[in-house]
Amino acid sequence: MPDGDECFLPPSLEASIARSQTASAPVPKVAAGYAQSGNQQVLPPTSGSSGAAQYPHVLPDGAHEHHAHGPHGCCHGDHGEDEEDAHYKEVCYSLLSYAEDAASELMTIAETFHIPDPRDQAMMKLKVDDLMNEMKQCIVVNDHFLKMLVLSDLDAQDYWQMPPDHQVQERNSMKARTVLRQFVRDWGDEGAQERDVQYGCLLDALERYVPKNARPSGGKPRVLAPGSGLSRLPFECARRGYAAQGNEFSYHMLQGCKWVLNETDREKSHVIYPFVLNLENRRNALDHVRPVAIPDVCPSRILCPPGVDPNPEDFSMCAGEFINVYEDQIAEWDAVLTCFFLDTAKNVFLYIRTIADIIRPGGLWANFGPLLYHYAEQPDQISIELSWEEVKPEIQKYFDFKEEDFREALYTTNPKGMYRTRYLCIYFAAIRNDVETEGESFPVYD
Ligand SMILES: C[S@@+](CC[C@H](N)C(=O)[O-])C[C@H]1O[C@@H](n2cnc3c(N)ncnc32)[C@H](O)[C@@H]1O
């Protein structure tokens, strides 16, 4: 495999999907497989047991198959194969073991709720036992959903059964819960406000600065969305007629992408309860047990309506660490859209230089996000936390700013809750000039 680049195209497994709350009518699968970037080699779909289009693994000649996962449940590709597999396994197990994780938290909640005097308990809207039962039901549904993300994926079949003595690390259990909230942001009605503000301005910039006939050689303009989470942003690019690719290195996110892109067959086919364990800051007593139906739109129906074959060139997800995957794709992209991604850098200069390298002169970089710096709180990690005043001139070396302002934004916020973190995000749209990049940085992951 090329460094950090595992691209895999998941087959479907209808049987395990039946475990969730859905009746499914088969529709053609979207072309959102996991396309190989770098040594691009995209194979046509093969016909699988379900009769729907399925994708084989896509590997360059001579490559051997492995799961590329780094030490934080991410596929960095710079780690030994055993280490990578161990992390992939751990991520799968964290999704499979949500029920146990949630049950232990529910037990703690139940204990505290039982403490008040019965007269105080009578003031509660639901009897404690009824509330706990309600929450238990929600947890069962969430559990089926998260299990399905693993059990619907033949690539993960070695890890469909968690050994009874396996202990999932707490941070991975937390990430499994995060997947539920991320589904609200990307594929729930309740996430529409976040998406409209944040993805909306990037998509508007794309349509204004990169018209669909922008490619001198013809064909759809190529748009990359690095760190695309559950893939809504690249999906929206493809929906608007661009050749879009998402990139992600978190296997928690990638399992979610595989399911939503390749396994859903209609909108609102599934229900999750993303807030069930969040009792703080509720306005109404049952807010935390409200269902969220996903996906709000069905990607395969939109990109691949009946009679249209999936085309991996029109839409794909590429798994791997951004720098490792794309650093050699010089001037291959017409646009890069980054949302809440720039500050995932350990060294932001390396991100900027790589983005400048891969966008052709005249191409667009549109960005929306804060400078929270994801590794800032981790003492054992490199994290260079620069201000916007310092970051902007480095971008201006290679890009001409067309638009720039600060905008308020929420991120995976519970819209019904009484608490929210509001970021002041930098939005910009900038056009690549023809200045060659200079300088070198240490690798982001070593
Ligand atoms: C804050 S989230 C934003 C996700 C999505 N863009 C959104 O707006 O909801 C950042 C995402 O970038 C991914 N990520 C961070 N560093 C990355 C890297 N070096 N290469 C690929 N993905 C990365 C993370 O796994 C995470 O899903």
CATH number at residue 87: 3.40.50.150
Identify the weakest region by mean pLDDT among 10-19, 133-142, 353-362: 10-19
| CA-185 nearest atom, ligand 1 | 9
Instruction: Flag whether 371 is in a domain.
Output: yes
pLDDT of residue 126: 82
Instruction: Flag whether 395 is in a domain.
Output: yes
Instruction: Flag whether 153 is in a domain.
Output: yes
Q: What is the pLDDT of residues 251-283, one digit of tens each?
A: 999 999 999 999 999 999 999 999 999 999 999
Instruction: Flag whether 5 is in a domain.
Output: no
Q: Is 182 a residue whose pLDDT tops 80? A: yes
Side chain identity, residue 50: S
Quick one: pLDDT band at residue 12, thresholds 50, 70, 90?
very low
pLDDT of residue 216: 78
Quick one: pLDDT band at residue 77, thresholds 50, 70, 90?
low
On the CB side of 430, CA atoms within 13 Å amount to 26
Q: Domain count for the chain, please give it.
A: 1
Instruction: Flag whether 8 is in a domain.
Output: no
Q: d(Cα 322, Cα 320) in Å, to the nearest integer?
A: 6
Q: Is 153 a residue whose pLDDT tops 60? A: yes
| CA-74 nearest atom, ligand 1 | 25
Domain that holds residue 35: 14-96+145-432
Instruction: Flag whether 83 is in a domain.
Output: yes
CA 313 to centroid of ligand 1, rounded, Å:
22
Side chain identity, residue 319: A
Average pLDDT score over residue span 326-352: 96
CA 39 to centroid of ligand 1, rounded, Å:
23
Average pLDDT score over residue span 1-21: 27
Q: Is 48 a residue whose pLDDT tops 50? A: no
Instruction: Flag whether 6 is in a domain.
Output: no
Cβ-Cβ contacts under 8 Å for 209 (sequence gap 6 or more): 335, 364, 366, 402, 429, 431
Confirm or reject: Cβ of 227 under 6 Å from ligand 1.
yes
Closest protein CA for atom 12 of ligand 1: 227
Sheet holding 333-339, edge to edge: 315-319, 243-248, 222-226, 333-339, 359-369, 423-432, 399-409
In this structure, what are the phi and psi dihedrals at residue 92, rounded to the nearest 5 degrees? -60, -45
Average pLDDT score over residue span 294-301: 97
Model confidence, pTM = 0.85
pLDDT of residue 176: 97
CA 370 to centroid of ligand 1, rounded, Å:
13
Give the tokens for residue 311: 């085309």
Instruction: Flag whether 437 is in a domain.
Output: no
